[in-house]
Structure 1
């Protein structure tokens, strides 16, 4: 191992870049659908050794000396994001005649941009670099900081944060209920990078013992939490039907298919319960399931009332239009409607956090004048963003906290009012991405929101992955990707959290302070020894 570490430290030029890129690519295999937990234990030690060798010219200032580490971090990040996000190109091929030209921007350009966060993380770590376990702490702190920044800069895109690699199954997700995703990000990097100490020996016993303790705590707490009594369903019990219609995305843009799409959803809605079971109280349709403006089609609401039985509720994804005033085009919202058995819309919530270029265009006036449209919005300029999020109320007073599509990847999207709800509701349309890693990655990230909030998750997708997840992140029932049909189940109950989301954030901040302190102490000690 010392021989290997030495060889990697001495790499230069294209070979150094290629090894860093490959290390980032290997780390992707820890993410869904692979879930190979060992992969980052190969990747991050290589990154540590590459940064060990990225010392820069000693005659230059600190910032210029950190550039080799910046480049190594960028190559690592480019491999990680290219391998983890290549499937975004599928969305542009749904309407290939209009958007195929942008495939390189999505497949290569976005990973190249996101890699900048890891480049700065590696550069910051190098500024705090020492020997032994201190440099592992420096890397963990720097990655934790820049993963946090990635969650909100330019509206944020925390997809595939490193912490998810340490949480492939519910047993390994429970730590997030104590330290949040930000805390898990830091500890994951610390543990993944610790085998690098085997190659350089300094701090080996301390680093490996500390990492082993963290892994034991991670698994131990997960085992403890999953073995607590299961939460009871809310009283009275609510039966949920998930409808997964498996509609080809290209058909949604074909006017001649819209009525057939609508009827397909209705057919699955009115189907009798399996094995003569209780009819569902609530039926869930996925994001933008209604293929037209519902309020402009009263006949469609009549059809819904014909299908729903007395007391049943339909919750459906739809586009909502709103008059913007005289002389102004309407505003459109990506919305969720609650519709009762009389065909009346009794509740609604609009999406707040839109996908840049997918649902709206940044610099809209400039790009629209250039003839561009948002990819997933069949109207000039795309959707408008809601100012507030509205909880959805079910019969009997139970409430759902709505998250539309990729809003579920943002822990900060879930406000304190969510804890008063009975469940999270995430509707999405991952058919854009085909049978690629994208839908599986999306599901894992939504799944973690249950663990962080102690709320069950109702997740409905057009093509998968649809599931009911209990308050500890375990799947109760659902569909794999690419399956058409419906499933009925009782909504699980909520559980008491060990830490409220605000406390999870404070614990993550405290953890960052401890890791930063270890890095600083090690750095100061290293400088004194060197001098």
Structure 2
């Protein structure tokens, strides 16, 4: 191990960049759908050794001395995001004649930009670098800080945060209810990087003890949580989730809209399976209704006729406001609740839109150069002002999130305390049968565990599922399957800690690593003097 580490430390130039790139790409195997988290026990020790060798001239300024470490982190991040997000380009091939030109920008540009976060993580860690376990703590702090920043800077995109690699199955998901994503990111990087100590053997016993202790705590807490008796359910909900598997090439084709709507209606009106009750709630995916209700009021009448007394439909729609001869229309990506009279009882608009997908940033400027939004549909969307829970039958409250909104822990936490369940509607058909839909589902699944609430998820082509508050899949439909699932869902909130306490815990864990790294760094410098 010492010999291998020594060779990696001495790498220079393009060889160092290539190894960093390959180490980052290898770490993607820890994410869904591969879930081979053991790959991270190779990637992160390699990253530690690369940063060991990323030293600048002592006579240079601080920024120049940190530049080699930044480069290592950037190449690691570029490999990680390129291997983990290549599937985004699939969305541009749905209408290849119009958008194939943008494929290099999606495939290369997004990983190129996101890699700066990991470059800064390595640079921050390098400021506190030591030759012992302190550098492992420094790396954990740097990554935790930049993963947290990745959640909100430049509109935010916390996709495939490192911490998800430590939570491939429900047994290993339960700790998130204590640590939050900030703490989980810090702990995951620390544990993944600890094998780097095998090379130098400084603090090896301490590292081995922490390695065993943290993994045992992670697994043990999961076992206890899943073995604990379920909280008695005060109420329950019978749910039907519809997955129509609509071909995106037909999505906005006016000639097939009636056929798409008939498919949704037919799947919703089917008799429940043996031993199942008639659903109280029917859930359709994001933008599932293929027209505007303002243009087709007859569709609401048909829905009222289809819904039995007491039933409610939650459907993803495009909602129009301000139509008229003198007013410009505004369009919203929305979830609407439709009662058994065919009336829209409530609506929630998507708050966190996808840049270039649902709206064009700096539209007035960029449109002059012929640029337009790339994938979402025939109009730009406006962002909603706020999110609120929708009242369901029997007074239950469902908090809806549209598409990738569910990957933002803070967005979900804000409203989770006022709801009994989480609803996620999405249309991942843009990305086909690639890792993207599996990664999206995993992050939604972990939001359920984090907040101790069940999750109802309707996706156009999958993965549609019902997930319990401990992250266990009650029932699901596979990618590209067409059908519906009926589930009797007990409703009982099981959050271990409040969202505020979880946020504090995560920050404390991150700061603890930062303080430990700083103290060990200062001690090493004092001894050197």
TM interval, short-chain normalised: over 0.9
1:73–1:123 Cα contact (<8 Å) kept: yes
Greater mean deviation of Cα atoms: 438-447 or 371-380: 371-380
Cα distance, 1:437 vs structure 2 = 0.2
Q: SS where residue 484 of structure 2 aligns?
A: strand
**1:353 aligns to what?**
352
Q: Post-superposition shift, 1:490?
A: 1.2
SS where residue 502 of structure 1 aligns? helix
Structure 2 residue 255 is the aligned partner of structure 1 residue 274: no
| Per-residue Cα deviation, 1:425-461 (whole angstroms, up to 9, x for no partner) | 0000010100000000000100111111111000110
Q: 1:58 to 1:326 in 2, by over 3 A?
A: farther
Shift of 1:483: 1.0
Contact 2:267 2:483 in 1 (8 A): yes
Structure 2 partner of 1:259 = 258
User: Which sits farther off after the overlay, 317-326 or 385-394?
Assistant: 317-326
Task: Report what 2:38 is aligned to.
Answer: 38
Q: 1:407 aligns with which of 396, 405, 408?
A: 405
1:78 aligns with 2:47: no
Could you tell me whether the CA contact under 8 Å between 1:471 and 1:492 is conserved in 2?
Answer: no
Corresponding residue number in structure 2 for 1:392: 390
In the alignment, structure 1 residue 118 sits paired with structure 2 residue 122: no
TM-score, scaled relative to structure 1:
0.97
Question: Can you list the C-alpha shifts for 1:223-282, whole angstroms capped at 9, x where unaligned?
Answer: 1111111244442x3200010111111110222121111111001001111126321111
What per-residue deviation string (whole Å, max 9, x for no partner) do you get for residues 103-148 of structure 1?
Answer: 1111111001000000011011111101110000000000000000
Q: Which residue of 2 aligns with 1:517?
A: 515
Cα offsets for 1:29-72 (capped at 9, x unmatched)? 01111000201001000000000000112221221111111000
Residue 4 of structure 2 corresponds to 4
The match for 1:213 is: 213
SS of 1:402's equivalent in the other structure is: strand
Contact 2:389-2:418 at 8 Å conserved across structures = no
Confirm or deny: 8 A CA contact 1:231 1:492 kept in the other structure.
no
RMSD: 1.3
Instruction: Pick which of 157-166 and 317-326 moved more.
Output: 317-326
Deviation at 1:372, TM superposition (A): 2.8
Deviation of 1:354 after TM superposition, in Å, equals 0.5
Aligned to 1:469: 467
| Aligned 8 A contact 1:450 1:472 in 2 | yes
Contact 2:231 2:494 in 1 (8 A): no
For the 8 Å contact 2:420–2:493, the answer to whether it is kept is no
Q: How does 1:327-406 map to 2 (within 5 A)?
A: 327-380=326-379, 382-406=380-404
1:445 aligned onto 2:443:
yes
Q: CA deviation at 1:174?
A: 0.9
Q: Hey, what's the Cα distance between the residues in 1 that align with 2:365 and 2:64? A: 37
SS across alignment from 2:345: strand
SS at structure 1 position matched to 2:171? helix
> Is residue 2:101 matched to residue 1:101?
yes
Structure 1 residue 204 displacement after superposition: 1.1
Q: Distance in 1 between matches of 2:324 and 2:220?
A: 58
Residue pair 2:359, 2:382 contacting (<8 A) in 1 also = yes
Q: CA deviation at 1:325?
A: 8.1
Contact 1:73/1:122 (8 A) holds in 2 = yes
- Give the whole-Å Cα distance in 1 for the aligned partners of 2:524 and 2:104: 44
Equivalences for 1:126-205 in 2 at 5 Å?
126-205=126-205
How many equivalent pairs are there? Answer: 529
Larger mean CA deviation between 366-375 and 207-216 belongs to: 366-375
